[in-house]
Structure 1
Amino acid sequence: MAVEAPRMARWFSRRDIDTYPRGWVQVGLLVLVIIANIVANYEGELAPVAPLLLPYLKLTLLGYGLIVGLTTVVSGIVSLLVGARFDRYGRTFFVAVGTFVTSIAVFSMILVHTTLDFIIVRLVMAIILGLVLPATTGLVRDFTPRVGRALGFGLWTFGPVGANFLAAGVAGATLPLFHDAWQSQFVIMGSFCFVISLVVAFLIRDLSPGLRAQIVHDQEEAQLAALRAREVKETVANPRMVYGSGRIWALAVGIVLFLLVYYFTTAFGPLYLSSAFKYPAAEAASIASYFWLANLGSLILVGLVSDWLQLRKLFSFIGVIGVFVFMFFWIRLIGHPVPPSTMILYTSLQGVLLGIGFGPWMALYSENLEDIHPTLQGTGWALWSFVQYVLAGIGGAITFLVVTAAGWAAWLDICWIGVVIYGILIFFGRGPWFHRPARQPGTERNIVS
């Protein structure tokens, strides 16, 4: 029996579009997804001020790590619980409501005076992130055919990347102006997030359910997809087709292990730089911003090339090799004085290599989900969100246990092992290594497990 959607979700569904977006319409919809993703990735707003916030709250590194880790796990649990509703109700309902609530939560950080206050605000943000992330990834797949999808997902990463780059850059530029008052950053970022949430709520659109059920190879198929969509009467497929797929689990777990160092940089980057290399808080935030800028640039460039060649696994594996070699030298920098200009080069290179490994994977994952069933994108991205936030949350919770006992290098060694495991698990993904795949008709669908 069908489950009736909430009233607000039905209001958003009445705005569905039944033609495949092309040209400036497609660009505009992707921009809305990207800026919504920036708002939802609240960690970016928190990380640059962590060196100032922790002493204010009298919070230890270990306590901060536990809070970060446990609230991150909450995001993953929320994603899994919502699961197929991302496909059944559409994506925009979750995106619009989530960005608005997040903007209010960012503002509320101004009122934080105790550790309990901080935990409550983070918990609200974590719940919303668990709702928004699978919805935005589903929208990127909906708005981009397979030729162009890696670039689309590369631009999507400007959410987590852009949130960190924007907040780190703003903090580096404005903290000195406000005499290192951390509350100033939440006034600035809260104002930005609130305006963006209103724009997203009124302009974002979903594809119609029939159109979401289509596999579109390139823009030439867009018009045909719209015609086929009018004949589609099927409902959302059984989510167990995704949950029971070993291939999907391998890809989801593998990329999360690869990105352990990325999650570390997201949550603790400026804190790590100020602690391990003794940079002032504003300078650490400024240096960290170069990581995100380089990461974004590489995601766009490798997305273009990956879309042209349609070789997702090859580029991801190149990223694995690059990060593996880089971290061998990166770990050995700890404890040695590094000039800021040199550290900028190191952090930028790290951002480039992680982008090479991650961007094509997102296209690979979405295409593997399509091959199972095109109506299960939201379910599949919810599964990845669950794996990502649970593993990253556990990692965040134990980071400073490891650091306190054995130093920063010990945790980065764990991240290094994660890179190696991902290099093995990527072989489970379905897709070519060296030969561009032959074009398949959009009506074909291979059911795989």
Structure 2
Amino acid sequence: MKPFYVRELSVYPVGRRRIFLLAVAVLASLVANFETTIATILPLLMSDLGMSLTVYGQIAALSVLVGGLSAGFGGILSDRWGRVTILVPTLTITAACNFLLATVDTVAELFWVRCLMLFIEGAGITITASLVRDFSPRMGRAQAFAFWTWGPVGASFLASFIAGFTLPLFGNAWQSQAIIMGIVSLTMCAFIIWKIAEPSAALRAEVLMAEEEVRAAEHARHGRLRTLFRHRHLWVHVWGNTCWQVLYWTFAIFGQTLLTGGFGMDAAGANRVVALGIVLNAVAVVVVGRVSDRIQLRKPFTAVGTVLTVAALAYFIALIGPGVPAAHVTLVYSLLYLFMGVAYVPWMANFSENAEDVDPRLQGSALGLWGMVVRVMIVVLLVVSPMVVEAGGWQSWLTVALAGQVLFLLSMVAFKGPWRREGKETTTMTV
């Protein structure tokens, strides 16, 4: 018997109905990222608990590792039990954990609460990616994943926006932000529970090119996970993109710290630079995703975006040091975010389609495997990067990230999919 909040669709939605359900899935992605955001209160939290950055890095590494394990299992369970069955409890419980976070007054308590939150959150984020795939035929897959990436980007922006206006109202008490995040998250969860739906297992087993090709299968069995492990190109996808993500997560976790430490910028200026980069990234993923869908090509965009990222990053590394004009730093840093957006969304569509070609019933498992490996990388990043920076400065660590971009570029040789359009036929693009 399905839980009360599960609504399965026996007929694939089209038109405005499909767009609406896709938007609900994107909102779920935003909630899953927002309710675990801690960067906005980290300086206050560290001061209140007497916690060093090194200690926080260790706490973050262990909690992210726990979340990585959850991401892998969450994807597998969502393929078997359904997306919404797992997603709604993960979102709601994690949101409620923010009230528990507000009661923390020791480093040990922070560790256990963060592990609990990241364990629940890991499965939720994986499942939102699976839902986006379920509601996006291939003609609109890249643009759909572009909106999905607005989840982490939008969560960061929303948390910073709320903190900027409400922290002064509560005497800069970090606990206020935990309570506000809990209230906002639960409110959005209520809307998601009210409106969310998912395709049945039979519909999820279909490979749809466009809405016009919608058809429902009468029977569908669960795919076998070991099927994924037999295909080398899927492993190369996961390995290559994990190397690419070293740079992204370096900016996501340490962006402001890098700008203040590497260029001597003040905290407010660093936040403005990061905010501009986030906005450009959000625009880039949608524009590139739409063009990629229109011409049904993925790999050329990923390759061009990565080459541009490599060039810009090499220049950025050479710039690091005092005395560089803030406008110059802002331009290069923003371009890095822009180029990463060009590369990322077409890759996500390519990975999803390559996994779909192996077995469309295992989308959640494939995305869960990727999410788990990426989180293991984040754990290593949190432990290793501070030591590398301490020994050789930000140039040394960003050189490691540069190598990751090059390895990702080389890994594209194994990806499936065309490099150019065949013939002169036109395609109809849908989101």
Query: Is residue 105 of structure 1 aligned with residue 91 of structure 2?
Result: no
Query: Is residue 186 of structure 1 aligned with residue 172 of structure 2?
Result: no
2:402 aligned counterpart, secondary structure: helix
Counterpart AA for 2:119: I
Tell me: CA distance 1:395–1:430, structure 2 relative to 1, closer, same or farther (3 Å). same
Query: Is residue 331 of structure 1 aligned with residue 322 of structure 2?
Result: no
Tell me: CA distance 1:194–1:10, structure 2 relative to 1, closer, same or farther (3 Å). closer
Aligned 8 A contact 2:5 2:193 in 1: no
Displacement after TM superposition at 1:437 (Å): 8.8
Tell me: CA distance 1:340–1:193, structure 2 relative to 1, closer, same or farther (3 Å). farther
Displacement after TM superposition at 1:279 (Å): 4.3
* 1: CA distance, partners of 2:117 / 2:163: 20
Match of 1:165 in 2: 157
Aligned 8 A contact 2:34 2:181 in 1: no
Query: Is residue 34 of structure 1 aligned with residue 20 of structure 2?
Result: no
* 1: CA distance, partners of 2:89 / 2:170: 32
* 2: CA distance, partners of 1:152 / 1:268: 28
Query: Which stretch shifts more, 62-71 or 150-159?
Result: 62-71
Displacement after TM superposition at 1:290 (Å): 1.9
* 2: CA distance, partners of 1:277 / 1:174: 29
Tell me: CA distance 1:244–1:314, structure 2 relative to 1, closer, same or farther (3 Å). same
- Structure 1: which 4+ aligned runs deviate by more than 6 Å? none
The gaps in structure 1 that reach 5 residues or longer are 1-6, 440-449
From 308, 314, 317, the equivalent of 2:303 is: 317
From 421, 424, 427, the equivalent of 2:413 is: 427
Aligned 8 A contact 2:228 2:366 in 1: yes
Counterpart AA for 1:320: T
Query: Is residue 250 of structure 1 aligned with residue 242 of structure 2?
Result: no
Match of 1:446 in 2: none
Query: Which stretch shifts more, 30-39 or 80-89?
Result: 80-89
TM-score by length of 2: 0.92
The gaps in structure 2 that reach 5 residues or longer are 426-431
Question: 1:23-51: CA deviations, max 9, x gaps?
Answer: 22112212211121112125872112223
Displacement after TM superposition at 1:296 (Å): 0.9
Tell me: CA distance 1:111–1:381, structure 2 relative to 1, closer, same or farther (3 Å). same
1:19 aligned counterpart, secondary structure: coil
Query: Is residue 58 of structure 1 aligned with residue 50 of structure 2?
Result: yes
Query: Is residue 196 of structure 1 aligned with residue 181 of structure 2?
Result: no
Question: 1:2-38: CA deviations, max 9, x gaps?
Answer: xxxxx6x55455x201121222211221221112111
From 375, 381, 390, the equivalent of 2:367 is: 381
Q: Counterparts in 2 of 1:229-308, with a 5 A limit?
A: 229=217, 231=218, 233-308=219-294
2:8 aligned counterpart, secondary structure: coil
Displacement after TM superposition at 1:240 (Å): 0.5
Displacement after TM superposition at 1:284 (Å): 3.4
Query: Which stretch shifts more, 211-220 or 332-341?
Result: 332-341
Match of 2:352 in 1: 366
Aligned identity (percent) is: 34
Aligned 8 A contact 1:83 1:379 in 2: yes
Aligned 8 A contact 1:76 1:389 in 2: yes
Aligned 8 A contact 1:51 1:271 in 2: no
Q: Counterparts in 2 of 1:194-233, with a 5 A limit?
A: 194-222=186-214, 225-226=215-216, 229=217, 231=218, 233=219
Aligned 8 A contact 2:305 2:342 in 1: yes
Q: Counterparts in 2 of 1:46-195, with a 5 A limit?
A: 46-176=38-168, 178-195=170-187
Query: Is residue 410 of structure 1 aligned with residue 396 of structure 2?
Result: yes
Aligned 8 A contact 2:73 2:123 in 1: no
Query: Which stretch shifts more, 207-216 or 398-407?
Result: 398-407
Query: Which stretch shifts more, 191-200 or 264-273?
Result: 264-273
TM-score by length of 1: 0.89
Query: Which stretch shifts more, 164-173 or 413-422?
Result: 164-173
Displacement after TM superposition at 1:333 (Å): 3.1
* 1: CA distance, partners of 2:252 / 2:396: 18
Counterpart AA for 2:91: T
Query: Which stretch shifts more, 361-370 or 32-41?
Result: 32-41
* 2: CA distance, partners of 1:147 / 1:129: 30
Question: 1:305-355: CA deviations, max 9, x gaps?
Answer: 100111111101111101101111222333224555544433322221111
* 2: CA distance, partners of 1:51 / 1:420: 34
Aligned 8 A contact 1:75 1:126 in 2: yes
Counterpart AA for 1:304: R
Query: Which stretch shifts more, 395-404 or 272-281?
Result: 272-281
* 1: CA distance, partners of 2:63 / 2:266: 28
Aligned 8 A contact 1:150 1:362 in 2: yes
Counterpart AA for 1:351: Y
